[in-house]
Structure 1
Amino acid sequence: MHPHNRKKLEDRVRRAAEAALAARKYVSPVDVLVGIGWLDPGALKRWQQGQLGYLEEAVQTNLPRISEAMKLFRSWAAAKGLRPSETAYIARTPARQMLRFSKSGDPAIEKLYRTHWISGDLPEKKQKRLVERASRAPELVVIQPLNDAWKCHRCAGTGDFLMMEAPGPVCLRCAGLDDLEFLPAGNALLTRRVKANSARHAVVVRFSRSRRRYERQGLLVEHRALSEAQTELEQHNRECS
């Protein structure tokens, strides 16, 4: 890379990394790729949902430039005295598979992508909480479609809810979530109790045409957890009345 172009890229990487660090007290390679405009947030979301084979597939430049940008980022992070922390990247799918970053799948490259850099100014307890939060498996997202004119790409069935996979929509039966029960939004106390006790759950969203965005409608939860939480709240209300 020409020295002038390398300096321009170094400046872009630095600005993106500093912005992410200021906002969250840590910064990741993904933050930098988004910040310099090489990775579209929509493509990032599809990757997180397991709809892309690997992240580099969505990065809008060639592999040598990606490699150079990541080297510049790591050099910046080390010079800032940031603490490296390897983070788990888990797909937002029922299978909970580990997400892949690179075209090659080389373990050393994958580890570099998974490494977050944390501010050394934070107390140790806060650093630990950041690491735990970053490694937490993301919530599953289920879509409540606006109409029933959709077909599961696996079984050609349909239903009230769907999940998105790379080939297309999939019904809850094929996704292994058809035993879950829908809990509409509106009762925050019940929702918190059920969510805490349901080993499996998924956030239900529906697209709002007026607001042009997906909005939360409730949760899919285990029947046992819902029944127990409802019983507990009923008992609590009787004791308080």
Structure 2
Amino acid sequence: MPDLRVVEPRRPRHCAECHQGPYARLLMESDTPRCLDCADLGHLVYLPRGNTALTRRAAEYSTLCAVVVRLNRNRGRYERQGILVEEEALARAEEACLADEESRARRRTRDAQRRTNEDVAFTQALATEISRLYPSCPPERAQEIASHASLRGSGRVGRSAAGRALHEETTTAAVRASVRHVDTPYDELLMSGTPRNAARAIVASAIEQVLTSWRTSAPNSVPTT
């Protein structure tokens, strides 16, 4: 990341050196705002974030560059908005990206297929583990629970490190969550204004009844010798 940092103030400010402005972007030096021209950055062009390959190459090709940030008050930190680079470097980066766009598109397709294959395999493994722990759980229900818990990017328990490792505790948590929402009036209690902890306490025994019934071997299972 470039060492130079240009700030986009929440309100445009004037330059402390030339007293011109207000400016949307300023270089802060010892809390002193300077416009890009006074900071010797006026010849640079702005490249907004969004294209990782283009940004990486433009920064690599540019002799001088700066990162542009803006304060996010909710998160209490500065967040990157883009970079300032030399115009020739940006043009060179754009040409390079166009030249290998086809190969990068193929790589993105391969990566997407790989992730899909991994997700299918993991979902099936989770469904198998659910059936092992709860042999009387209907197979289609085990598959439904696994698909829900393992959805990529969902932040659900199945996507945690323990969930991907098929730890019994996290697998049970996924099953319990499904039973809570599907087999009890938990959602209706929440919608009626019942506090979450109180609603959980109300349905706790019903959840345990379902889990206990699922833990027993299926009636048509054949004991192993």
| TM-score grouping bracket, smaller chain normalisation | 0.3 to 0.5
Which structure shows the bigger proportion of residues in strand conformation?
Answer: 1
Q: Give the TM-score normalised by structure 1.
A: 0.40
Q: Give the TM-score normalised by structure 2.
A: 0.43
Largest Rg, 1 or 2 = 2
